[in-house]
A and B are shown apart, each in its own frame.
Chain A
């Protein structure tokens, strides 16, 4: 909250109302339903449901493949978030800096975001295909046999590469708009005070970008966790097999694909709690350091 805030009561509630109504109906009600079903064993049609207490949860703790998925999810999320943020930040800073061709670079770097997710997945799967993939053939010319779907880490790298590729433009757009929103006065003052580009970036630009950066950090973590399952699904051809899988993909596999409502609900509740803890930690420790003017 701003220090100098308006004191009205009715008006802000009116402003919040549409958002709160929509999330109540389309998020909290369905989510509460998911939490409830995590304590039941029920058939998909909703004919029978038996209360099973915490059974759906306790089973997860013992499942080795659940633990494997948890480990892979951590690695995957860290790498995807890191690479998509740093590459995008680098490109945004450069695109903000150059004068000649600035417009062209910006347009080119943004427009990949327009590509539809199933197409992104298809591009990935065709580039990395075992027998006809362009990248597979390229790697083979260096003597590396890339085997998507057979070798665990080959498959993992393809997932990370495609996920990063798809996310860079989003981060680029937000970083660039954040950079552009830095008042000219500040930039110019910085230019006069500080001659080295690098220290200017870390001292002035980076702190000013921090609110955007924090937003993007959270958004990228949720992207890696939740929105990459389409890419993963395409790359593994909808067959989990012995491939690396993220927790959300498991939720999808067991619930949407396999019809195990109770088990998949329990998985998503666990996931939600984990991510909530993670974000609370980030808000407490990271956001404090962000200097909102």
Chain B
């Protein structure tokens, strides 16, 4: 169905404009900016990786490391495979699994709920569309920490403590996805819907056949952001779960580094850094996976 889209959007066609040319100074400037940006972003991450190969005492004395130590295997082994906790039911892999469920459930749930709501707000002649939008939008204005006690009570009444549903659904109560898709839908040309009407497409068909494919890049962006947001949740899961088999990676990291500030013991920096690197891997894989969706504008040939 992408062809409906393309015939309508791309009125001109020429396939040969952007071609690598000779070395030009502004190209070098572009690369310099990008390299500087990449370094700014990645040097700290590299240091976490280097630190994950050291023992706790060295890191405590000297701070984060640039070079590599000899504890790499030990730290990753401990972080990933060693069972911890009281019930011996959690290791890095279990926590990884829980974080994955939280991240996926949250991202998918939020995108579906948000796209549906944005579609209703933008594409239908609803009297209360503006009101609905503002009602949803307002949820951006009060963070979870402020309403955490009553939220907990709601979850308990519904008997959702220690469940994935209880972990995921309350986090979906925020406007980011709806707001974002509303912005995007509004920027899609009007002609599309007219063309769809002429073709006799109803709202469901229009949504699934036209809007969803058009929104691919946006969905990818949203998915990456929301997956990581869910993946990294800390406070809410800590509050509502008591079952160790539901612990997530971030909670594992917090448990190790909690004593950073008080100095009574030496936090296991190496192991925490190893867990941090492990915690980064799945989101990075998702970025790599969605990479192709982001470059579609350049590679997709016109039909």
Residue positions of A touching B, CB distance < 8 A? 1-9, 11-13, 15-16, 18-20, 22-23, 25-27, 29-31, 33-34, 87, 90-91, 94-95, 97-103, 105-119, 122-123, 125-127, 129, 132-134, 165, 168-170, 173-174, 176-177, 179-185, 187-189, 191-192, 197, 208, 211-212, 214-215, 218-219, 222, 226-227, 229-230, 237-238, 248, 251-252, 255-256, 261, 264-265, 268, 272, 275-276, 279, 292-293
Contacts and interface: CB of A to CB of B under 8 A. Distances in A.
B140 A218 contact: yes
Q: Lowest 7 A-B CB distances belong to which pairs?
A: A114-B283, A30-B147, A132-B63, A12-B120, A30-B150, A26-B173, A15-B120
A115 B284 CA distance: 9
A231 B149 CA distance: 22
Contact of B38 (A20, A105, A115): A105
A117 B136 CA distance: 26
Contacts, number: 330
A12 B64 CA distance: 53
B188 interface: yes
Nearest to A267: B146
22 contacts: A1-B124, A1-B129, A2-B190, A5-B122, A16-B121, A16-B132, A27-B142, A27-B173, A34-B146, A34-B150, A99-B298, A110-B224, A111-B283, A114-B287, A117-B234, A118-B254, A119-B253, A119-B272, A123-B44, A123-B64, A127-B63, A256-B148
Contact of A215 (B37, B63, B183, B280): B183
Contact of B253 (A105, A118, A218, A248): A118
B80 interface: no
B218 A181 contact: yes
A185 B12 contact: yes
B108 interface: no
A119 B138 contact: no
B225 A170 contact: yes
A129 B63 contact: yes
B31 A191 contact: no
Given A26-B173, A113-B283, A4 B190 contact: yes
A16 B228 CA distance: 25
Contact of B123 (A2, A112, A226, A238): A2
A8 B203 contact: yes
Contact of B150 (A6, A29, A95): A29
Interface residues of B, number: 117
Nearest to A129: B63
A290 to B, nearest CB: 9
B11 interface: yes
B288 interface: yes
Interface centre among B26, B126, B180, B294 (most CB of A within 10 A): B294
Contact of B249 (A94, A97, A116, A169): A116
B116 A15 contact: yes
Given A11-B124, A91-B34, A133-B63, A18 B113 contact: yes
